[in-house]
Amino acid sequence: MAVALIARELFTGRDIQTGKAVLIRDGKIAGIVSAEAVPAGYRVRQLNGYMLAPAFMDLQIYGGNGRVFSAEMTTESLEAVYEYCLQGGCTQFMITLATNSIEKMIRGMEVAREYRNNGGKGLLGVHLEGPYINPAKKGAHLEKFIKRATVDEIRLLLQHGRDIFRMMTLAPEQCDRECIELLIQNGIVVSAGHSNATYEEAIDGFYQGIPAATHLFNAMSPLQGRQPGFVGAVYDNNDVRSSIVCDGVHVDFASVRISKKIMQDRLFFITDAVAEVQYGEYVHVFKGDRYTLPDGTLSGSALTMLQAVRNGVEHAGIPLPEALRMAALYPATLLGLQDRWGVIQPGACADLVLLDEQLNLLQVMVAGEE
């Protein structure tokens, strides 16, 4: 099917254009042309909305629609998370598992592979957050599962996670150099987090090739005058990207604004979303605008990616085009997928969102179809 979509404004991921039509054929972007110059063979659709933009990508999400994957490791659970993502304009997601037993993590990767092999949509892969983190910055993670990394155990994860294990959060001070190198050599996106590293330890990890940090400010040593800490190292290394949870709970909106001024295109949004669950290793309790453990420890957000974008614009003063990039192009760039997602250009996947002036979601399109 070939269709030409026309909206009042088109955000390509690079700039805003008007008077243009997006050509879609076989689920991919075929081109951008003047609205008056749509080629023969394309069905023209005039969209009743404000802006057509690339759909979003979430590199850290645990659950949604009443399901948390670690508590219910089924393909149905992943389907529920995917549907939750769509409600926030997100078509691609990285299902995340918090610190747990290696057996549980392997099982999670097996189920994720089954979901994808059976036609499950949207799953980029598995993000293992832990178990190689610092217990001093464990946050809501269970200390009984926290450990130092070993080469043999990482090889085991790589063996069982082939083609589905895509990302790992670890504390660089908890991992020997060969462990980090092994992950990077096997194509795993290593993200430093849940770390009590000094500035020097964090910088050393980044020099080893760690390209990213996990949920800036949360569970990491802070920036101080005499001790720049982990946050200072992230600010200071121009090659390191970081996710941030823009809900006003995990991080104050002023901190989002300040970090954006410093980091520019290196900062991107995640939801870190969970759902209420009363069983399994991690019990999450809904508290209106967040989730906590039963003891009150912050354990996850109630965000969607679209709400993160809105919050960035309305509360952190981030211009709309840049907030949209933080939810789409920038996470895609971290994964090396910036030519497939986060942009509207020839050859990219036709995963799109249609927004109104108040940034409400009017439509989500996956491969050009609603």
pLDDT digits (tens, 9 = 90+) for 37-90: 999 999 999 999 999 999 999 999 999 999 999 999 999 999 999 999 999 999
Q: Which run of H or of E encompasses 79?
A: helix 75-87
Domain extent listing, the chain: 2-53+343-365, 57-334
Q: Which residues are catalytic?
A: 272
Measured CA distances, 53 to 88, 305, 323 (Å)? 13, 13, 12
The CATH superfamily holding the domain 2-53+343-365 is Urease, subunit C, domain 1 (2.30.40.10)
Fold adopted by 57-334: TIM Barrel (3.20.20)
Beta-carbon contacts of residue 358 (< 8 Å; ≥ 6 apart): none
The model's pLDDT over 238-260, given as tens digits with 9 standing for 90+, comes to 999 999 999 999 999 999 999 99
The model's pLDDT over 316-354, given as tens digits with 9 standing for 90+, comes to 999 999 999 999 999 999 999 999 999 999 999 999 999
Q: Which residue is associated with the tokens 């070939």?
A: 2
Q: What is the pTM of this model?
A: 0.98
Q: Residues 221-224: contacts with CB within 8 Å, 24+ apart? A: 221/137, 221/195, 221/196, 221/197
How high is the pLDDT of residue 318? 98
